[in-house]
Amino acid sequence: MSSLTPSSRAPRLAAAVPYLALLGAIISLTAGTSFAKSLYPMVGPAGTSALRVGLSALMLLAVWRPWRARFTRSDLKALALYGVVMGFMNLSFYMSLNTIPLGVALAIEFTGPLAVALFNARRLIHVVWVGFAVLGLVLLLPLDGAGEALDPLGCAFAAMAAFCWALYIVFGKRVSHLPSGPTVAVGMSAAALTVVPFGAATAGFSLLSPSILGLGLIVALVSSALPYTLDMVALRGIPKRTFGVLLSGDPAVGALAGLWVLGEHLSTLQWLAIAAVITASVGAVLTSPPGEDQPLQEPGAPA
């Protein structure tokens, strides 16, 4: 018979909720991204990205009604940069998924925030983590015959997503003093204005098909609205250092989701590459000085 009373179980359950929320956010994001690929035959990657970002923007506008916030002109300029980078990050990532596996794309993209985390590194140990990240990229990218028959264009789009993710963090910090809900709503709206024209140019009026809009709504909910909400719950109860370490498992979860949902089988070399990137990410978080242990991803940033 358990010695735990209902009153003693309650604090343990409350402490577990943020970690369960983060796990749910990671699973929801990767599952939503995997499901999004089912739209590719109908509207292509640009059309899928347009649906995800556009419908997410409409949902956020309805919830947060940012027009009630008092943004200055300089705030709006900063939010525009934040949103445009967010839009290109999403578009580049979805374009990469057209030709390379989800886990591989996530590993390449994850080098963006990792580069930001290591940019101002002053410790010798950080050179080790840079080495792991470089090793992962060498194993993944088709450089001089290295890599495992990955499409160069898909890798280039993933690298562009990584670059945009790094910029997203930089520009995101510039607007971090603003109210979070309205800020994300305005940013996502700017992202939609950036991405939707590309989707409309490639998919045309098929984006307005009721069946496709329904699938797009599911993608927007599962890969944007739900993980963003769960991230908020997680961040309130998980130390930033721990949050960053746990989040570093994203590429591995993505690889497993790609395997189970999409049947994307990775080679042993590609799994080792993903492990190298995750090791670099975890190491960078754990060896950051106190006060600099920021998570490698801001809420709502997932591609």
pLDDT tens-digit series, residues 145-182: 444 568 889 999 999 999 998 898 889 888 888 888 88
pLDDT tens-digit series, residues 97-123: 999 988 888 888 888 877 877 776 667
Tell whether 251 is covered by a domain.
yes
Mean pLDDT value across residues 181-185? 87
- Kindly tell me if the per-residue pLDDT of 60 is higher than 50: yes
More confident residue, 197 or 242: 197
Tell whether 1 is covered by a domain.
no
21, 253, 186, 214 alpha-carbon torsion, rounded to 10° = -90
Tell whether 301 is covered by a domain.
no
Tell whether 222 is covered by a domain.
yes
Tell whether 151 is covered by a domain.
yes
Structure tokens at 33: 């991204």
What is d(CA 157, CA 128) in angstroms, rounded to the nearest whole number? 26
Structure tokens at 282: 């975890």
Tell whether 167 is covered by a domain.
yes
Tell whether 14 is covered by a domain.
no
Average pLDDT, the chain: 82
Nearest by Cα to 37 from 257, 197, 196, 273 = 257
Tell whether 177 is covered by a domain.
yes
- Kindly tell me if the per-residue pLDDT of 297 is higher than 60: no
**Tally of domains within the chain:** 1
Mean pLDDT value across residues 17-30? 84
pLDDT value, residue 232 = 66
Q: Which domain does 207 fall in, by range?
A: 27-286
- Kindly tell me if the per-residue pLDDT of 213 is higher than 90: yes
pTM score, whole prediction: 0.82
Mean pLDDT value across residues 9-35? 80
